[in-house]
Amino acid sequence: MRFLILVILTGLLFTACKEETAKKVEIPHLLVTSPAEKDTTIFKDYVCQINSINHIEIRSQEKGYLQKIYIDEGQFVKKGQLMFKIMPLIYEAEMEKAKANLNFAEIEYQNTLLLADKNIVSKNELALSKAKLDKEKAELSLAQVHLGFTEIKAPFDGIMGRFHNQLGSLIDEGELLTELSDNSKMWAYFNVPEAEYLDYAAKAKSKTPVSVKLQMANGKVFDQPGIIETIEGDFNNETGNIAFRATFANPQRVLRHSETGTILMPVALKNALFIPQKATFEILDKKYVYVMDENEVLKATEITIGTELPHIYIVTGGITSKDKILMEGLGKVKNNEKIESEFVPFEKVLSDLNKLHAE
């Protein structure tokens, strides 16, 4: 009987030791790091509409058949280059008629002048003859203008738009033929919320223009920097936004009228606090990290995210650069759990993240 009790006690003691050993083994060994604090520049993005600095409609100033098209859609044209010709027969006839009437009026005036010099006709008759001559000169000038309107020339260097009429079409006065865009420079319009406008206004007191970048629809950044030149006078009452305009040089004519893109405006941050995105977890739309205390016990701590960057968050509240945060195994631990930790500098964490996402 005593022997049986001794065996049972020995078994219980062995089991207790085994459980104690298991508990010690179960303490996780995990990596921690500290937030990095440094000055940096981030880019806030705004959807923008890109327009040519000069974009006009080319319309017919006379009625007639479209007789000639000298250019093609999308073609670059120089100022003064002939683009379209409206059939000019009627206007040519009117000009010839005006020339004939002018010749007749000149002969009549010269004869009246000779008679006036001999006092055969009165000065009033001479004045009437001179007035008739001036009238015919004006009629000829008007006919020349109308004939000139049948030839439509480029008012500036630019790129042709789509044709709205084909060769041989009957064109009415004022009918749209195409559009012409001066793409040597481009204007990018984007809307800025009131709070961000006030931040910009407070920092833009110097006369140095603010430089911005343009991210195109394919995700690439345009190779020319832009300058913010103007800000609209009024806020939009419905959206609370105000329109900014940035100007970009476009020497290769890459940008076209009515394109869309994203303006990247630089914002300087002092003592910004960086943490890896993978060190965070979410509860009810709020972001948390596990902060490790001096006893290596984890505390779930809510943080405030200021800016999201690739693989990185910039934190504006909740933790400091002196804290140590858990950076792996977040799903394997719980609040107030003790761990064994190994510290990894943030620079090493960032280097590993960049290598991982570059592969």
Of the segments 86-90, 192-196, 223-227, 237-241, which one has the largest average pLDDT value? Answer: 223-227
Clarify whether residues 90 and 126 are in a common domain. Answer: yes
* Residue where one domain finishes, among candidates 179, 213, 241: 179
Mean pLDDT of the chain: 85
Asked, for residue 14, whether it belongs to a domain, the answer is: no
Using CA atoms, how far apart are residues 340 and 15, in angstroms rounded to an integer? 25
Asked, for residue 9, whether it belongs to a domain, the answer is: no
> What pLDDT score was predicted for residue 7?
47
Asked, for residue 213, whether it belongs to a domain, the answer is: yes
For residue 157, which of 52, 282, 229 has the smallest C-alpha distance?
52
* Residue where one domain finishes, among candidates 236, 269, 302: 269
Using CA atoms, how far apart are residues 274 and 321, in angstroms rounded to an integer? 9
Question: What is the tally of structural domains in the chain?
Answer: 3
Per residue in 114-154, pLDDT tens? 877 777 777 788 788 788 878 878 887 877 777 767 889 99
Clarify whether residues 191 and 242 are in a common domain. Answer: yes
Asked, for residue 15, whether it belongs to a domain, the answer is: no
Clarify whether residues 68 and 175 are in a common domain. Answer: yes
Clarify whether residues 175 and 187 are in a common domain. Answer: no
Asked, for residue 18, whether it belongs to a domain, the answer is: no
Asked, for residue 219, whether it belongs to a domain, the answer is: yes
**CA 145 → CA 14, 142, 151, 293, distances in Å?**
114, 5, 10, 88
Clarify whether residues 197 and 49 are in a common domain. Answer: yes
Beta bridge partners of 58: 178
Residue pair 162/179 in contact (Cβ under 8 Å)? The answer is yes
Looking at the predicted structure, is the pLDDT value of residue 82 above 50?
yes
Per residue in 260-306, pLDDT tens? 999 999 888 888 999 999 999 999 889 999 999 999 999 999 999 98
Clarify whether residues 95 and 159 are in a common domain. Answer: yes
Clarify whether residues 101 and 174 are in a common domain. Answer: yes
**177: how many CB neighbours lie within 10 A of its CB?**
22
Q: Which CATH number do you get for residue 245? A: 2.40.30.170
Helix, strand, coil in percent for the chain, rounding step 5: 30, 40, 30
- Residue for token digits 């027969």? 89
Beta bridge partners of 185: 249
Using CA atoms, how far apart are residues 306 and 235, in angstroms rounded to an integer? 25
* Residue where one domain finishes, among candidates 241, 269, 297: 269
- Which structural domain, as residue segments, surrounds residue 121? 64-179
Clarify whether residues 72 and 167 are in a common domain. Answer: yes
pTM confidence score:
0.69
**CA 239 → CA 9, 25, 236, 242, distances in Å?**
78, 58, 6, 9
Clarify whether residues 107 and 153 are in a common domain. Answer: yes
Using CA atoms, how far apart are residues 356 and 359, in angstroms rounded to an integer? 6
